[in-house]
Structure 1
Amino acid sequence: MTTETEPYDPQQARLRRHETKPEGISSITLWQVYRSRLAPLCDVSLPEKGAEAGFCVTSLAYQTTRASLMQTTSVAQILRRGPKQIVNGTDQILLYLQVAGSLAADCDGRRIQVEPGDLVLFDYARPLVSRVGAFTNLVLAVDRDTVPAPLLGLGSALHGYVLPRNTGAGRLLGATLTALLAAAEHLTLGEAEAAVESVLHLAAGLVRSARLAEAETPEAVGMIRYTAALAYIDRHHGDLDLGPDEIAEHVGVSRPTLYRAFEHAGGVHAVLLRRRLDHVMRELLTNPVARESPTALATRFGFGGPTQLSRTFRARFGLPPGKYCALIEKQDAAWHAAQLARIGFGPEPMATSIAAHASAPARIAE
């Protein structure tokens, strides 16, 4: 005699709880394990020499098919996410709630200060350096293709965007993440995925509302000027003599006003260099012929020569151009096409072009 059973539905399974409460393990061993596990995401270090002897960390995490929700408590740390992790690691957007402790971060040129209760958006396709004291944070990390278009539409403005604790938007979204963590162990996988989708759409709506409100502030005026100046830089990046005076004249502001508009991104010269390098990377990804003439490439994009180009390219992307091109050959073409969109060049149908030329020789200077 056989008994029929209902077919297994993974969507009805409870979320699995992953909890880390180290017991019976030395602080130094715990530090080594922790650092190793974070290596694919970031390089982590401790701010004081010998701090490994007092290292401690606890965490509680839940995982869906496209998202993870984790609360972590630990000692002070320094975390660096650079080109190596971006190329080889996870492609996600983070909703980051600072529960306790303060965080100072450089989000690819945008410097932010985060206090308890503040909520921040981070884009893992962009560089990040953060310094945090003893802390507790709550992070919802989601795959990029899960994120609503209005959030992705922020482009570079998304990385490091803060919803402060003293705003309605910051309070509501922070409380929603906290409630999601509290309810997670009672949710099925299907319920959790629906909840994450709702949180993302709530975040998109709140950010949109916050940005509309910002349009009436001096900061918003500065961002408008910054965007106009950035567009001018993109059109004239090949001009070796392009500088603040010409950019300010085009935007219609004084040089000091231009400098203030660029303070959040590290200054006019820093942005000009980063944008030139972004254009170089775009050219390397889409036009393999350009790899064969480093001198022509340097001249076209406003560099003093191939040596300067190679040195500054390596400082920004972690590898000299030739080795970066070699890495391209080993990566998925569609990933690199998407990477172009993330650095501000818009969704362009480049995947086919990249794939067709991926095996072209990488002769550019190392």
Structure 2
Amino acid sequence: MSNKDVEGPQGEGPRILCHRFEPPADRADLGRAWREHLAPVFAVAFRPETDLTVPIAMRSYHLGDLLIGDVVAPAHILERTPEMIQQQGLDHILLQFYRRGQSTVESEDRANPVLETQCVVFDLAQPVRIVAAAVDATNVVIPRALLEDQGCRPEGLHGQAFDHDGDPYARLVHAFIADVVACGDLLHQHEAATAARAIVQLCGTYLRGRAGTAAPQNLDASIKARRLIERELHDFALSPATIAARLGMSRSTLYRLFGETGGVLAYIRDRRLMRAMRMLVRGDAARPLRISQLAYAVGFSDEKTFRRAFRQRFGFIPSEAVAYPFGVGERQAGISVLRSWFDNL
């Protein structure tokens, strides 16, 4: 696997990061390597007809607010179980635009076929099983909150497929995303941020016009907790006690939900720092914020604590953030690059 950072010409800033699946030297390890690469999103099983001698490829680009990429995959079975959902706490929407191949998507109450030139919607906070032939697809991963800001409720579309070739607007959406992927190695981070905003708007409009079933009522508790934290990051007083009270659960239950992320307080601090990083890199405020203003905006009570925490998290001070691409400074020990990118969106 690779995680690339290319510095652009002077004055243009760094280019965005790309993470690629690289087949192991020993082809006997290919199946294991592919399962490990997709583990941040899906558990993988191979079908009897799976041919691992054909080309297998996947690349992902970090645009700051979302991930895009493409995949050429063999026949396999992908699954997100309730246990994975609770453990990972992902609150993202995955759109896959099929260019070649087909699959059957099995959610809790239905099984939908997905055909060539269709787009399938996955709510990663809901269980799903995908029985897929060999496919070639364009991928987009968007945090749910960004689509909700566009007036879109994508959870009711989980597992559904829509044509992206015969529908002119859908064809426009797919063409734009595919073009951004094709140019990914040449983009600089300020260009990536602009492209990401355009993709969110395009996808929000595309999904908003689709008819979906009612949203699930039994949303996983860890997802509910993460949504609440994201909404209240600016609040200095945000604490495990207030979160537990707002969600109607005991503090011991809340602590268990965040046991694998270092605890509730560690998760809150990390989300605050990631929000600060995005604000610094995007540079889309009406005017540049002073470091003290930025610290208060993301829920730190003093600038000194913020600076120290930021440097410990990313390896550089806040004023240096514009010199680094999205995704730099992540915790990699024991965590795959893709999982780290998902966690930090």
TM-score category of the 2 structures, normalised to the smaller one: 0.5 to 0.7
Match of residue 97 from structure 1: 97
Match of residue 198 from structure 2: 198
Q: Secondary structure at the match of 1:359?
A: helix
Letter in 2 for 1:130: I
Distance 2:12 2:93 in 1: 23
Please list the CA deviations of residues 4-40 of structure 1 after superposition, one character each: whole Å capped at 9, or x if unmatched. Answer: xxxxx999321123333436321x3011122123223
Distance 2:247 2:12 in 1: 38
Match of residue 44 from structure 1: 44
Letter in 2 for 1:79: L
Distance 2:67 2:253 in 1: 38
| Alpha carbons of structure 1 residues 88 and 171: separation in structure 2 relative to 1, 3 Å | same
Distance 1:360 1:83 in 2: 17
TM-score of the pair, normalised by structure 1: 0.55
Match of residue 17 from structure 1: 18
Match of residue 67 from structure 1: 66
Alignment of 1:161-176 (within 5 A): 161-164=160-163, 165-176=165-176
Letter in 2 for 1:12: G
Q: Secondary structure at the match of 2:199?
A: helix
Mean Cα displacement is larger for which, 135-144 or 158-167?
A: 158-167
| Alpha carbons of structure 1 residues 82 and 183: separation in structure 2 relative to 1, 3 Å | same
Match of residue 334 from structure 1: 225
The answer to whether structure 1 residue 123 and structure 2 residue 16 are counterparts is no
Contact 2:63 2:196 (C-alpha < 8 Å) held by counterparts: no
Contact 1:40 1:88 (C-alpha < 8 Å) held by counterparts: no
Please list the CA deviations of residues 31-59 of structure 1 after superposition, one character each: whole Å capped at 9, or x if unmatched. Answer: 1122123223221101118x576475212
Q: Report deviation, 1:120.
A: 2.1
Q: Report deviation, 1:152.
A: 4.2
Q: Report deviation, 1:359.
A: 2.6
The answer to whether structure 1 residue 359 and structure 2 residue 262 are counterparts is no
Contact 1:163 1:169 (C-alpha < 8 Å) held by counterparts: no
Distance 1:61 1:359 in 2: 37
Distance 1:161 1:53 in 2: 28
Larger RCO: 1 or 2 (CA < 8 Å, sep 6+)? 2
The answer to whether structure 1 residue 178 and structure 2 residue 169 are counterparts is no
The number of equivalent residue pairs is 233
Distance 1:73 1:360 in 2: 41
Q: Report deviation, 1:96.
A: 1.1
Alignment of 1:139-154 (within 5 A): 139-150=139-150, 152-154=152-154
Distance 1:74 1:360 in 2: 39
Distance 1:106 1:56 in 2: 26
Contact 2:67 2:142 (C-alpha < 8 Å) held by counterparts: yes
Contact 1:104 1:112 (C-alpha < 8 Å) held by counterparts: yes
Structure 2 gaps, min length 5: 1-9, 231-241, 255-345
Contact 1:102 1:114 (C-alpha < 8 Å) held by counterparts: yes
Q: Secondary structure at the match of 2:16?
A: coil
Contact 1:78 1:129 (C-alpha < 8 Å) held by counterparts: yes
Structure 1 gaps, min length 5: 1-8, 212-222, 231-273, 286-330, 340-348, 362-366
Q: Secondary structure at the match of 2:252?
A: coil
TM-score of the pair, normalised by structure 2: 0.58
Q: Report deviation, 1:201.
A: 0.9
Task: Report percent identity of matched pairs.
Answer: 20
Letter in 2 for 1:335: R
Contact 2:101 2:133 (C-alpha < 8 Å) held by counterparts: yes
Q: Secondary structure at the match of 1:65?
A: coil
The answer to whether structure 1 residue 86 and structure 2 residue 57 are counterparts is no
Q: Report deviation, 1:161.
A: 3.7
Instruction: Note the aligned Cα RMSD (angstroms).
Output: 3.6
| Alpha carbons of structure 1 residues 65 and 82: separation in structure 2 relative to 1, 3 Å | same
Distance 1:32 1:147 in 2: 34
Q: Which has the larger radius of gyration?
A: 1
Distance 2:192 2:160 in 1: 25
Contact 2:44 2:79 (C-alpha < 8 Å) held by counterparts: yes
Greater fraction of residues in helix = 1
Contact 1:100 1:116 (C-alpha < 8 Å) held by counterparts: yes
Please list the CA deviations of residues 308-328 of structure 1 after superposition, one character each: whole Å capped at 9, or x if unmatched. Answer: xxxxxxxxxxxxxxxxxxxxx
| Alpha carbons of structure 1 residues 333 and 200: separation in structure 2 relative to 1, 3 Å | closer
Distance 2:77 2:151 in 1: 27
